[in-house]
């Protein structure tokens, strides 16, 4: 149930971010890439875990909102409705299943399938990442000609010498290393590309290194392993990878490589027919659509300029993720964000019966009045609303509200501590 609630909340986040992504379609790729990383962060910020943090830090502020207008607890009422939106299963959990053994067996079965899927996905990802590839060796000291060509291409780029390694294999250029990422360039690329083309490829890979993309790739792999069954994540990861590659292309252009020259270097590197690499790499022959998109983007790279609206969109994305990660959920139907809660109980010594309006009694009028009542941590009624009354007879509402305000409760209890809780109280007026 917690996983279902978390993925439902994540879907709400991603739906909003996909809309913002459409609004940022003319933004530089580094900004759209940041937007997708904000979306991925939501997967690691489960509301069932962080909601109690929000409750302890923000809930005290909600109890005194707009007191001078008689609307104390208005925000808490909104939070109660937000709880139903963000965790619709909370109210349903209250009901006892007709066949608890079947429900338990289903839960165990789904858990086993989930763990088995994670193991398979993790094994596949680790096998691909640990693929024996290139027999990497240092740049210096093996081939003076290769050293001279690589140093000539590297000169003036600001790329440290120790950050570049030469590979005797024929895998595509890439970056490896989680803590100290390094650029891995195969000998064939150094031999066959011109100095200008090699310089362009080095600048692209240096942006991968500067962004610590191997570490980012690990975060993506963890998300895919845990939530492999969640289709919106596949869409998100596709956008992450595409925008990341384009962001590195744009970084090379900003470093001084003309767009046409960079596109030519990219095309020549693709034409070498290099093998795929396990590390994050510049060329992905298995995704020709991404290559086509990168070339098309280079044709009009000058029109993708950062603007205020793009930064506002990113700020809205951060705020939306924060709201749906730390909103202080209130208890709904006896179930709170931290688990099952004990609802308030009326203390018999403080029970006051509503008075039956005398005029309505003489006219034979009866019915039901339903109240939403917020019981504070001290057991007192802190807010009260009539949500259903008897048509054309407000005196029933007044009598009921007047009596309930005098009630005292044993407060709701959650995880061993008293908590405020909204409860629904029906009051029946019958002539018998």
Per-residue pLDDT of the chain (432 residues; tens, 9 = 90+): 778 888 888 998 999 999 999 989 889 999 999 999 999 999 988 876 676 666 666 655 554 443 333 344 445 556 566 666 776 665 555 444 556 677 778 888 888 998 999 999 888 888 876 665 444 444 444 567 888 888 888 888 889 988 888 888 777 888 888 889 999 888 888 888 899 999 999 999 999 999 999 999 999 999 999 999 999 999 999 999 999 999 999 999 999 899 999 999 888 888 877 765 555 554 454 466 888 888 888 888 878 888 889 999 999 999 988 888 877 655 544 444 444 567 898 988 889 999 999 988 988 899 999 999 999 988 999 999 998 999 889 999 999 999 999 999 988 887 667 888 889 999 999 888
> Is residue 318 located within the same domain as residue 390?
no
Rg, Å, the chain Cα set: 31
Overall domain count for the chain? 3
Task: Look at residues 326, 350, 380 and tell me which one is the last residue of a structural domain.
Answer: 326
CB 328 within 8 A of CB 79: yes
DSSP reduced 3-state for 425: strand
Phi, psi angle pair for 415, to nearest 5°: 55, 35
CB 240 within 8 A of CB 23: no
> Is residue 218 located within the same domain as residue 234?
yes
> Is residue 209 located within the same domain as residue 141?
yes
Domain harbouring 393, CATH code: 3.30.2420.10
The pair of structure tokens assigned to 380 is 């007192």
Domain containing 241 equals 137-287
> Is residue 183 located within the same domain as residue 280?
yes
Return d(Cα 211, Cα 202) in angstroms, integer. Answer: 14
> Is residue 145 located within the same domain as residue 279?
yes
> Is residue 12 located within the same domain as residue 152?
no
User: Is 206 domain-assigned?
Assistant: yes
User: Is 49 domain-assigned?
Assistant: yes
Return d(Cα 262, Cα 298) in angstroms, integer. Answer: 8
Answer yes or no: pTM beyond 0.85: no
> Is residue 322 located within the same domain as residue 356?
no
> Is residue 318 located within the same domain as residue 380?
no
- Buried b vs exposed e over 307-346: b needs ≥16 C-beta within 10 Å? eeebeebbebbeebbeebbbbbbbbbbbbbbbeebbbbee
> Is residue 270 located within the same domain as residue 405?
no
- Buried b vs exposed e over 404-427: b needs ≥16 C-beta within 10 Å? beebbbebbbbeeebbbbbbebeb
User: Is 301 domain-assigned?
Assistant: no
User: Is 298 domain-assigned?
Assistant: no
């Amino acid at each position: 149930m917690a996983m279902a609630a978390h993925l439902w909340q994540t879907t709400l986040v991603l739906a909003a971010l996909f809309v913002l992504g459409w609004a940022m379609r003319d933004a530089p790729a580094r900004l759209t890439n940041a937007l997708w990383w904000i979306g991925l962060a939501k997967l690691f910020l489960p509301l069932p875990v962080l909601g109690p943090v929000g409750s302890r830090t923000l809930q005290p502020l909600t109890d005194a909102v707009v007191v001078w207008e008689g609307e104390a607890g208005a925000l808490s009422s909104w939070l109660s409705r937000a709880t139903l939106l963000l965790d619709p299963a909370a109210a349903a959990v209250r009901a006892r299943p007709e066949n608890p053994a079947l429900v338990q067996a289903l839960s165990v079965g789904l858990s086993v399938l989930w763990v088995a899927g994670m193991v398979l996905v993790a094994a596949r990802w680790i096998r691909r990442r640990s693929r024996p590839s290139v027999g990497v060796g240092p740049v210096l000291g093996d081939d003076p000609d290769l050293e001279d060509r690589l140093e000539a291409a590297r000169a003036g780029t600001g790329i440290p010498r120790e950050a570049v390694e030469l590979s005797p294999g024929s895998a595509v250029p890439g970056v490896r290393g989680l803590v100290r990422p390094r650029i891995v360039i195969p000998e064939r690329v150094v031999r066959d590309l011109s100095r200008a083309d090699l310089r362009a490829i080095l600048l692209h890979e240096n942006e991968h290194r500067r962004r610590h993309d191997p570490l980012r790739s690990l975060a993506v792999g963890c998300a895919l392993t845990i939530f492999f069954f969640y289709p919106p994540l596949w869409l998100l990861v596709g956008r992450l990878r595409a925008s990341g590659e384009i962001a590195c292309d744009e970084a090379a252009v900003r470093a001084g490589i003309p767009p046409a020259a960079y596109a030519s270097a990219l095309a020549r590197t693709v034409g070498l027919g290099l093998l795929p690499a396990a590390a994050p790499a510049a060329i992905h022959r298995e995704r020709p659509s991404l290559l086509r998109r990168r070339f098309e983007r280079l044709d009009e790279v000058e029109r993708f300029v950062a603007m205020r609206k793009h930064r506002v969109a990113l700020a809205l994305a951060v705020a939306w993720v924060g709201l749906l990660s730390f909103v202080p959920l209130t208890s709904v139907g006896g179930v709170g964000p931290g688990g099952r809660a004990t609802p308030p109980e009326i203390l018999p010594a403080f029970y006051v019966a509503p008075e039956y309006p005398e005029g309505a009694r003489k006219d034979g009028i009866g019915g039901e009045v339903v109240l939403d009542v917020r019981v504070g941590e001290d057991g007192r009624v802190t807010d009260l609303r009539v949500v259903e009354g008897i048509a054309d007879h407000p005196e029933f509402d007044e009598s009921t509200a007047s009596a309930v305000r005098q009630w005292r409760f044993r407060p709701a209890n959650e995880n061993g501590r008293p908590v405020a809780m909204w409860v629904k109280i029906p009051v029946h007026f019958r002539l018998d």
